[in-house]
Amino acid sequence: MIRFEQVSKRYPGGHEALVQLSFELADGEMAFVTGHSGAGKSTLLKLIALLERPSQGEIVIDGQRLSRLHRRNIPKLRRGIGMVFQDHHLLMDRSVYANVELPLLIGAVPPAERARRVRAALEKVGLLDYERQLPGSLSAGEQQRVGIARAIVARPALLIADEPTGNLDPQLAVEIMQLFAEFQDVGTTVLIASHDLPLIKRMKRRVVVLDHGRLIADVAAAEVQ
Ligand SMILES: Nc1ncnc2c1ncn2[C@@H]1O[C@H](COP(=O)(O)OP(=O)(O)OP(=O)(O)O)[C@@H](O)[C@H]1O
Protein backbone atom coordinates (compact mmCIF):
# COMPACT_ATOMS: atom_id res chain seq x y z
CA MET A 1 0.00 0.00 0.00
CA ILE A 2 2.84 2.44 0.83
CA ARG A 3 6.17 2.44 -0.94
CA PHE A 4 9.07 4.84 -0.40
CA GLU A 5 11.52 4.84 -3.32
CA GLN A 6 14.84 6.50 -2.46
CA VAL A 7 13.10 9.33 -0.67
CA SER A 8 15.14 12.26 0.63
CA LYS A 9 13.82 15.32 2.42
CA ARG A 10 15.74 18.50 3.02
CA TYR A 11 13.95 21.34 4.80
CA PRO A 12 14.73 24.86 3.64
CA GLY A 13 17.96 25.89 5.31
CA GLY A 14 18.29 22.56 7.11
CA HIS A 15 20.25 19.37 6.70
CA GLU A 16 18.68 16.24 5.24
CA ALA A 17 15.89 14.98 7.52
CA LEU A 18 15.54 11.80 5.42
CA VAL A 19 18.24 10.30 3.21
CA GLN A 20 17.39 7.94 0.33
CA LEU A 21 14.80 6.08 2.32
CA SER A 22 13.26 2.99 0.72
CA PHE A 23 10.74 0.69 2.36
CA GLU A 24 7.29 -0.80 1.83
CA LEU A 25 4.33 -1.22 4.11
CA ALA A 26 1.79 -3.82 3.01
CA ASP A 27 -1.98 -3.46 3.26
CA GLY A 28 -3.14 -4.43 6.72
CA GLU A 29 0.35 -4.34 8.22
CA MET A 30 1.13 -2.64 11.53
CA ALA A 31 4.64 -1.23 11.98
CA PHE A 32 6.59 1.12 14.22
CA VAL A 33 9.08 3.76 13.14
CA THR A 34 11.64 4.50 15.81
CA GLY A 35 14.94 6.35 16.25
CA HIS A 36 16.50 9.17 18.23
CA SER A 37 15.01 12.65 18.47
CA GLY A 38 15.48 14.30 15.07
CA ALA A 39 15.97 10.95 13.29
CA GLY A 40 13.20 11.80 10.82
CA LYS A 41 10.18 9.92 12.21
CA SER A 42 7.73 12.82 12.03
CA THR A 43 9.02 13.79 8.62
CA LEU A 44 8.32 10.29 7.31
CA LEU A 45 4.70 10.48 8.51
CA LYS A 46 4.24 14.02 7.17
CA LEU A 47 5.38 12.91 3.73
CA ILE A 48 2.78 10.14 3.72
CA ALA A 49 0.04 12.61 4.70
CA LEU A 50 1.24 15.09 2.08
CA LEU A 51 1.91 17.66 4.77
CA GLU A 52 5.44 17.82 3.35
CA ARG A 53 6.85 16.91 -0.05
CA PRO A 54 10.06 14.93 -0.71
CA SER A 55 13.09 16.77 -2.09
CA GLN A 56 13.95 13.63 -4.06
CA GLY A 57 12.51 10.19 -4.66
CA GLU A 58 8.94 8.96 -4.93
CA ILE A 59 6.22 7.85 -2.54
CA VAL A 60 3.54 5.52 -3.88
CA ILE A 61 0.28 5.00 -1.98
CA ASP A 62 -2.19 2.47 -3.38
CA GLY A 63 -0.47 2.64 -6.75
CA GLN A 64 -0.71 6.44 -6.82
CA ARG A 65 2.62 8.22 -7.30
CA LEU A 66 2.33 11.23 -5.01
CA SER A 67 4.60 13.39 -7.16
CA ARG A 68 2.05 13.08 -9.95
CA LEU A 69 -1.00 13.58 -7.77
CA HIS A 70 -2.99 16.59 -8.92
CA ARG A 71 -3.56 19.26 -6.28
CA ARG A 72 -7.34 18.76 -6.41
CA ASN A 73 -6.93 15.06 -5.53
CA ILE A 74 -4.95 15.73 -2.34
CA PRO A 75 -8.05 16.10 -0.07
CA LYS A 76 -9.36 12.76 -1.29
CA LEU A 77 -6.08 11.02 -0.49
CA ARG A 78 -5.95 12.68 2.95
CA ARG A 79 -9.48 11.48 3.73
CA GLY A 80 -8.18 7.93 3.42
CA ILE A 81 -5.60 8.57 6.14
CA GLY A 82 -6.40 8.92 9.85
CA MET A 83 -3.81 10.90 11.81
CA VAL A 84 -3.14 10.82 15.54
CA PHE A 85 -0.75 13.28 17.18
CA GLN A 86 1.01 13.31 20.53
CA ASP A 87 -0.83 16.42 21.67
CA HIS A 88 -4.04 15.26 19.95
CA HIS A 89 -4.93 18.74 18.53
CA LEU A 90 -8.46 18.66 19.94
CA LEU A 91 -10.72 21.72 19.90
CA MET A 92 -11.05 22.39 23.63
CA ASP A 93 -14.19 24.55 23.34
CA ARG A 94 -16.16 21.85 21.48
CA SER A 95 -17.68 18.70 22.89
CA VAL A 96 -16.10 15.29 22.50
CA TYR A 97 -18.87 14.50 20.01
CA ALA A 98 -18.18 17.61 17.92
CA ASN A 99 -14.44 16.87 17.83
CA VAL A 100 -14.99 13.36 16.55
CA GLU A 101 -17.59 14.51 14.03
CA LEU A 102 -15.23 17.01 12.40
CA PRO A 103 -13.74 14.81 9.63
CA LEU A 104 -17.24 13.77 8.57
CA LEU A 105 -18.33 17.39 8.11
CA ILE A 106 -15.49 17.87 5.65
CA GLY A 107 -16.48 14.65 3.91
CA ALA A 108 -20.17 15.68 3.55
CA VAL A 109 -21.71 12.59 5.18
CA PRO A 110 -25.51 12.88 5.85
CA PRO A 111 -26.40 13.83 9.49
CA ALA A 112 -28.00 10.53 10.54
CA GLU A 113 -25.04 8.58 9.19
CA ARG A 114 -22.67 11.03 10.90
CA ALA A 115 -24.29 10.43 14.28
CA ARG A 116 -24.12 6.66 13.79
CA ARG A 117 -20.45 6.76 12.87
CA VAL A 118 -19.45 9.18 15.64
CA ARG A 119 -21.08 6.93 18.24
CA ALA A 120 -19.48 3.83 16.72
CA ALA A 121 -16.05 5.51 16.90
CA LEU A 122 -16.61 6.65 20.50
CA GLU A 123 -17.79 3.19 21.47
CA LYS A 124 -14.67 1.68 19.91
CA VAL A 125 -12.41 3.79 22.13
CA GLY A 126 -14.64 3.28 25.19
CA LEU A 127 -15.91 6.86 25.47
CA LEU A 128 -19.55 6.64 24.49
CA ASP A 129 -20.68 8.14 27.80
CA TYR A 130 -18.42 11.18 27.36
CA GLU A 131 -19.86 12.62 24.15
CA ARG A 132 -21.29 15.77 25.74
CA GLN A 133 -18.20 16.63 27.76
CA LEU A 134 -15.50 19.09 26.82
CA PRO A 135 -12.07 17.52 26.23
CA GLY A 136 -10.61 19.56 29.10
CA SER A 137 -12.66 17.58 31.61
CA LEU A 138 -11.10 14.30 30.44
CA SER A 139 -7.83 12.68 31.53
CA ALA A 140 -4.80 12.67 29.21
CA GLY A 141 -5.46 9.09 28.16
CA GLU A 142 -9.12 9.80 27.47
CA GLN A 143 -8.21 12.87 25.41
CA GLN A 144 -5.86 10.75 23.35
CA ARG A 145 -8.71 8.30 22.81
CA VAL A 146 -10.88 11.14 21.51
CA GLY A 147 -8.07 11.94 19.06
CA ILE A 148 -8.05 8.31 17.95
CA ALA A 149 -11.84 8.25 17.56
CA ARG A 150 -11.59 11.34 15.36
CA ALA A 151 -8.83 9.70 13.31
CA ILE A 152 -10.87 6.54 12.62
CA VAL A 153 -14.38 7.99 12.31
CA ALA A 154 -14.14 8.29 8.52
CA ARG A 155 -12.94 4.66 8.39
CA PRO A 156 -9.54 5.33 6.84
CA ALA A 157 -7.62 2.43 5.31
CA LEU A 158 -4.44 3.85 6.84
CA LEU A 159 -3.85 5.12 10.36
CA ILE A 160 -0.65 7.04 11.13
CA ALA A 161 0.29 8.17 14.61
CA ASP A 162 3.12 10.43 15.75
CA GLU A 163 4.23 9.62 19.33
CA PRO A 164 0.62 8.85 20.34
CA THR A 165 1.65 7.74 23.83
CA GLY A 166 4.26 10.43 24.48
CA ASN A 167 2.31 12.13 27.26
CA LEU A 168 0.85 9.03 28.88
CA ASP A 169 1.91 6.89 31.82
CA PRO A 170 3.11 3.36 30.91
CA GLN A 171 -0.17 1.57 31.63
CA LEU A 172 -2.24 3.99 29.55
CA ALA A 173 0.38 3.84 26.80
CA VAL A 174 -0.03 0.06 26.58
CA GLU A 175 -3.81 0.44 26.36
CA ILE A 176 -3.53 2.96 23.53
CA MET A 177 -1.15 0.70 21.60
CA GLN A 178 -3.53 -2.23 22.06
CA LEU A 179 -6.28 -0.06 20.63
CA PHE A 180 -4.16 0.50 17.51
CA ALA A 181 -3.61 -3.26 17.27
CA GLU A 182 -7.39 -3.74 17.32
CA PHE A 183 -7.70 -1.47 14.28
CA GLN A 184 -5.12 -3.61 12.53
CA ASP A 185 -7.17 -6.68 13.44
CA VAL A 186 -10.05 -5.32 11.37
CA GLY A 187 -7.85 -4.60 8.35
CA THR A 188 -6.53 -1.07 8.89
CA THR A 189 -2.89 -0.44 7.98
CA VAL A 190 -1.16 1.18 10.97
CA LEU A 191 2.15 3.09 11.12
CA ILE A 192 3.25 4.54 14.46
CA ALA A 193 6.26 6.75 15.20
CA SER A 194 7.51 6.20 18.73
CA HIS A 195 10.77 6.37 20.65
CA ASP A 196 9.41 4.14 23.44
CA LEU A 197 11.44 0.98 22.76
CA PRO A 198 10.17 -1.12 25.68
CA LEU A 199 6.60 -0.48 24.57
CA ILE A 200 7.41 -1.20 20.92
CA LYS A 201 9.08 -4.50 21.85
CA ARG A 202 6.04 -5.50 23.82
CA MET A 203 3.78 -5.06 20.79
CA LYS A 204 5.74 -7.56 18.65
CA ARG A 205 5.23 -5.81 15.34
CA ARG A 206 7.65 -4.81 12.58
CA VAL A 207 10.09 -2.05 13.58
CA VAL A 208 11.74 0.35 11.13
CA VAL A 209 14.71 2.15 12.72
CA LEU A 210 15.92 5.55 11.51
CA ASP A 211 19.22 7.20 12.37
CA HIS A 212 19.91 10.69 11.09
CA GLY A 213 17.35 10.19 8.34
CA ARG A 214 18.70 6.83 7.19
CA LEU A 215 17.03 3.47 7.57
CA ILE A 216 19.49 1.44 9.65
CA ALA A 217 17.31 -1.56 10.54
CA ASP A 218 14.02 -3.12 9.51
CA VAL A 219 13.08 -5.82 12.00
CA ALA A 220 10.29 -8.25 11.12
CA ALA A 221 7.57 -8.83 13.71
CA ALA A 222 8.72 -12.42 14.31
CA GLU A 223 12.24 -11.20 15.14
CA VAL A 224 11.26 -8.55 17.68
CA GLN A 225 12.48 -9.73 21.10
N1 LIG B 1 9.87 22.38 9.36
C2 LIG B 1 11.17 22.12 9.52
N3 LIG B 1 12.09 23.01 9.11
C4 LIG B 1 13.42 22.73 9.23
N5 LIG B 1 13.93 21.61 9.78
C6 LIG B 1 13.04 20.70 10.22
C7 LIG B 1 11.62 20.91 10.11
N8 LIG B 1 11.00 19.82 10.64
C9 LIG B 1 11.97 18.99 11.04
N10 LIG B 1 13.20 19.52 10.79
C11 LIG B 1 14.49 18.86 11.06
O12 LIG B 1 14.49 17.60 10.41
C13 LIG B 1 15.11 16.62 11.21
C14 LIG B 1 14.11 15.47 11.43
O15 LIG B 1 13.02 15.94 12.23
P16 LIG B 1 11.78 15.05 12.61
O17 LIG B 1 10.83 15.93 13.36
O18 LIG B 1 11.30 14.34 11.43
O19 LIG B 1 12.45 13.99 13.61
P20 LIG B 1 11.79 13.04 14.72
O21 LIG B 1 12.54 11.75 14.61
O22 LIG B 1 10.33 13.02 14.54
O23 LIG B 1 12.17 13.77 16.05
P24 LIG B 1 11.37 13.84 17.46
O25 LIG B 1 11.42 12.45 18.03
O26 LIG B 1 12.20 14.80 18.27
O27 LIG B 1 9.99 14.33 17.15
C28 LIG B 1 15.54 17.31 12.48
O29 LIG B 1 16.89 17.67 12.34
C30 LIG B 1 14.66 18.54 12.53
O31 LIG B 1 15.30 19.59 13.21
Which CATH number is 1-80+157-225's, of 1.10.10.60, 3.90.245.10, 3.40.50.2000, 3.40.50.300?
3.40.50.300
pLDDT at 180 (0 to 100): 94
By alpha-carbon position, which residue is closest to atom 11 of ligand 1? 17
pLDDT at 93 (0 to 100): 97
- Which of these, 29, 32, 27, lies nearest to 60 by C-alpha position? 27
d(CA 13, CA 9): 12
CB 25 within 8 A of CB 6: no
- Ligand 1 midpoint to CA 39 (Å): 7
In 136-186, alpha helices (H):
140-152, 170-185
- Ligand 1 midpoint to CA 218 (Å): 21
Task: Please name the residues in contact with 218: beta carbons below 8 A apart, sequence gap of 6 or more.
Answer: 23, 206, 207, 208, 209
d(CA 68, CA 89): 30
Q: Answer yes or no: pTM beyond 0.90.
A: yes
By alpha-carbon position, which residue is closest to atom 25 of ligand 1? 37
Which ipTM score applies to this complex?
Answer: 0.95
Q: Which segments of the chain belong to CATH 3.40.50.300?
A: 1-80+157-225
Quick: pLDDT tens for 4-57: 999 999 999 888 999 999 999 999 999 999 999 999 999 999 999 999 999 999
pLDDT at 166 (0 to 100): 86
- Ligand 1 midpoint to CA 97 (Å): 33
- Ligand 1 midpoint to CA 203 (Å): 25
Question: Does the beta carbon of 41 sit less than 6 angstroms from any atom of ligand 1?
Answer: yes
Task: Write the Ramachandran bin of 202: left for phi over 0, alpha for psi from -120 to 50, otherwise beta.
Answer: alpha
By alpha-carbon position, which residue is closest to atom 29 of ligand 1? 38
pLDDT at 50 (0 to 100): 92
pLDDT at 75 (0 to 100): 87
Quick: pLDDT tens for 77-87: 988 999 998 87
By alpha-carbon position, which residue is closest to atom 1 of ligand 1? 11
The number of residues in the chain equals 225
- Ligand 1 midpoint to CA 17 (Å): 6
Pairing of strands 2-10, 16-25: antiparallel
What angle, 0 to 180 degrees and rounded to 10, lies between the N-to-C axes of helices 111-124 and 140-152? 140
In the chain, alpha helices (H):
41-48, 74-79, 96-106, 111-124, 140-152, 170-185, 197-203
Task: Write the Ramachandran bin of 153: left for phi over 0, alpha for psi from -120 to 50, otherwise beta.
Answer: alpha
Question: Does the beta carbon of 34 sit less than 6 angstroms from any atom of ligand 1?
Answer: no
CA of 13, closest atom in ligand 1: 4
- Ligand 1 midpoint to CA 42 (Å): 7
Cα within 13 Å of Cα(7), Cβ side: 29
d(CA 4, CA 21): 6
For the chain, count helices (H), then strands (E). 7, 10
- Which of these, 36, 11, 32, lies nearest to 23 by C-alpha position? 32
